[in-house]
Amino acid sequence: MQKKKAPEKELKVAAIENGTVIDHIPADSTFKVAEILKLDSYTDVVSVASNLSSSVLGRKGLVKVAGKYLTEQEFSKISIVAPQATVNIIRNYQVKEKIKVNLPDTIDNVIKCSNPVCITNNEEILTKFYITRKNPLKVKCHYCEREMEKGDIKIV
Amino acid sequence: MEFKGRDVISIYDFSKQELLYIIRIAKQIKLNPQKYSGILRGKVMAAMFFEPSTRTRLSFSSSMEQLGGQVIGFSNSNVTSMQKGESLWDTVKMTENYSDVIVIRHPLEGSARLAAEASEVPVINGGDGSNQHPTQTMLDIFTINESKGKLENLHVGFLGDLKYGRTVHSLVVALSHFNPVFYFIAPEGLKMPEHYLAELRQKGIKYYESSNLEPSLSRMDILYVTRIQKERFAEPLEYQKYKGVYKIDNSALKNAKETLKIMHPLPRVDEISKEVDSTEHALYFQQAANGIPIRKTLLSLVLGKLK
């Protein structure tokens, strides 16, 4: 019997004219990215796909947002939950720029300290963290010096 | 090495060379206190003590006055405007106008770092919650160096609550510059936190862990004892069990080297028996006294009066 031709691996989501496509998100972080970008209250076209097959990540997520470009702050936040993500800037249906998310050495005002007696949880100040290990992610609070691993890291 | 205007917040901020330099100056000051008696005349130290402290506050105040300086401040946050809701940032901003150096103790971790960012004048951390207490660590290594004549290649044991004891954590970090061998003796629930052990492995420093002092005692040059706090145990019986096991008296020390020195950040409750006080092993009162030369050194250095 002739083998059925495997369906083409094509993503059935609409192309966007202008906006951002974030690819190579670890599957379990897809909705965290959506949360970071506050997509639940976004009014333009948004496509969120998760558990897509990926040769690098096994399963990956993908987020398309029409009419939006990321701020530096959003970049930093995404680099925490999806350190291998690629950000595609779309203009006029063309990928104008492909940026690999990169974890900076320090992260300002993105992470909330997990230490309840840290000064940052008790006084109105911006948080600051040092990346002490990239994979798996480990960060250290500039103020209380407490180290946190990936599971404990909360975004502001 | 530039110390003028510098903050003293965390032991991580000081290199091996800087620690050795501080020890060298402290030795000079201890040997010849008269020579330095007026060097901080006209300078004002603000002691911002938001929680109780006896040794740290008194030894900072005494150090400042012995050097000819003046002390202002408070030792109870109930008397400050923070009671009215003023932020720590604003309180520090006010205080810097009245002083040349600020010493702060505060229950929240990271508070000293924040104070240093708010202040134009140097800030010295006198303890921020269970995070850092760098002047204690400096006086600890000063004391070790004074009694042993060196810091390199020592076998150092730590006994008691190694999980929550900030003096232990900071001292381990500071001694890691000097090729030590560590022995961590603690009950199961109060062992040295894994991330400190990982740091030691990464630096290639040898350490041993045990819940029993006996097997490694004979190899130690220094035994650093800390208090096991009752409130760390859910079961009162557990506490009673450990309290007894980790009590140091003369019979517990019979296999120790003659030259073993015992340290303790104080206050002690009953983890070191009074009978040990009169032996050659006891170093803890000398250790407490060394708070003065170390704090004199730091005040003089950050105020730029010693180089």
Taking only the tens of pLDDT, chain A with its 156 residues reads 555 555 545 555 578 999 999 999 999 999 999 999 999 999 999 999 999 998 888 899 999 999 999 998 899 889 999 988 999 999 999 999 999 998 889 999 899 999 999 999 999 999 999 999 888 889 999 999 999 998 888 888
Give the domain range for residue A88: 19-100
pLDDT, residue A4, reads 56
How far apart are alpha carbons A98 and A22 in whole angstroms?
10
> How distant, in Å, are the alpha carbons of A47, A74, A77, B75 from that of B58?
64, 48, 46, 10
pTM > 0.80: yes
A56 and A86 both lie in a single domain: yes
pLDDT, residue B246, reads 83
Instruction: Give the homologous superfamily in CATH for domain B11-132+291-302.
Output: Aspartate/ornithine carbamoyltransferase (3.40.50.1370)
Inter-chain Cβ pairs, chain A and chain B, closer than 8 A? 49
ipTM of the complex: 0.89
Mean pLDDT of chain B: 93
The strand pairing partners of A64, in sequence order, are A21, A47
Per-residue pLDDT tens over the stretch B179-217: 999 999 998 888 999 889 999 999 999 999 999 999 999
DSSP string, B160-179: S-TTT-HHHHHHHHHHGGG-
Per-residue pLDDT tens over the stretch B233-289: 777 887 877 776 788 999 999 999 999 999 999 888 889 999 999 999 999 999 999
Residue A4: inside a domain: no
Residue A10: inside a domain: no
A30 and A93 both lie in a single domain: yes
Other CB atoms within 10 A of residue B203 CB: 10
- Cα-flanking dihedrals φ and ψ of residue A29, to 5°? -110, 0
Per-residue pLDDT tens over the stretch B68-127: 999 999 887 776 766 667 899 999 999 999 999 999 999 999 999 999 999 999 999 999
How far apart are alpha carbons B222 and A139 in whole angstroms?
33
pLDDT, residue B49, reads 95
Please, what sign has the CA dihedral across residues A5, A6, A12, A18?
A: negative
Which of B40, B25, B47, B58 is CA-nearest to residue B123? Answer: B47
Q: Are A137 and A130 in contact (CB under 8 A)?
A: no
Q: Parallel, antiparallel, or unpaired: how do β-strands A94-100 and A86-91 relate?
A: antiparallel
pLDDT, residue B235, reads 78
A84 and A133 both lie in a single domain: no
Q: Where in chain B are all domains bearing CATH 3.40.50.1370?
A: 11-132+291-302, 135-288
Residue A120: inside a domain: yes
The CATH number covering residue A126 comes to 2.30.30.20
Residue A67: inside a domain: yes
Q: B232 vs A30, which has greater pLDDT?
A: A30
Which of A33, A117, A28, A124 is CA-nearest to residue B50? Answer: A117
Mean pLDDT, residues B116-142 taken together? 96
The CATH number covering residue A71 comes to 3.30.70.140
Both tokens of B282, joined, read 């006891």
A96 and A113 both lie in a single domain: no
Q: How far is B301 from chain A (nearest CA, A)?
A: 24
Inter-chain residue contact B109 with A119, CB threshold 8 Å: yes
Residue A6: inside a domain: no
Residue A7: inside a domain: no
pLDDT, residue B79, reads 66
Q: Parallel, antiparallel, or unpaired: how do β-strands A46-54 and A58-66 relate?
A: antiparallel
Other CB atoms within 10 A of residue B82 CB: 16
pLDDT, residue B188, reads 85
A113 and A84 both lie in a single domain: no
In the numeric block, the tokens 């900071």 are attached to B170
Chain A environment of B132 (Cβ under 8 Å): 145
Residue A121: inside a domain: yes
Q: Are A130 and A121 in contact (CB under 8 A)?
A: no
Phi-psi region of B157 (alpha: psi -120 to 50; beta: other; left: phi over 0): beta
> How distant, in Å, are the alpha carbons of B156, B190, B195, B203, B301 from that of B200?
14, 18, 9, 5, 30
pLDDT, residue B174, reads 97
Residues 6+ apart with CB under 8 A from A37: A63, A65, A68, A70, A74
Q: Which CATH class is domain B135-288?
A: alpha beta
Chain A environment of B131 (Cβ under 8 Å): 144-146
Chain A environment of B48 (Cβ under 8 Å): none
Degrees to nearest 5, angle at CA B233 with B232 and B238: 140
- Cα-flanking dihedrals φ and ψ of residue B215, to 5°? -60, -30
Inter-chain residue contact B111 with A119, CB threshold 8 Å: yes
- What's the structural domain count of chain A? 2
How far apart are alpha carbons B56 and A142 in whole angstroms?
24
Strand order in the sheet with B44-49: B70-74, B44-49, B101-106, B123-128
Inter-chain residue contact A142 with B128, CB threshold 8 Å: no
Report, as residue numbers or ranges, the catalytic residues of B: 55-56, 84, 105, 133
User: Which of A143, A148, A152 would you mutate first to test chain B, the one with the most B CBs within 10 A?
Assistant: A143
What percent of chain B shows pLDDT beyond 90?
79
Inter-chain residue contact B110 with A124, CB threshold 8 Å: no
A30 and A45 both lie in a single domain: yes
Question: Looking only at Cα atoms, what is the longest distance across chain B?
Answer: 57
How far apart are alpha carbons A93 and A67 in whole angstroms?
12
Kind plus residue range of the DSSP H or E element containing B127:
strand B123-128
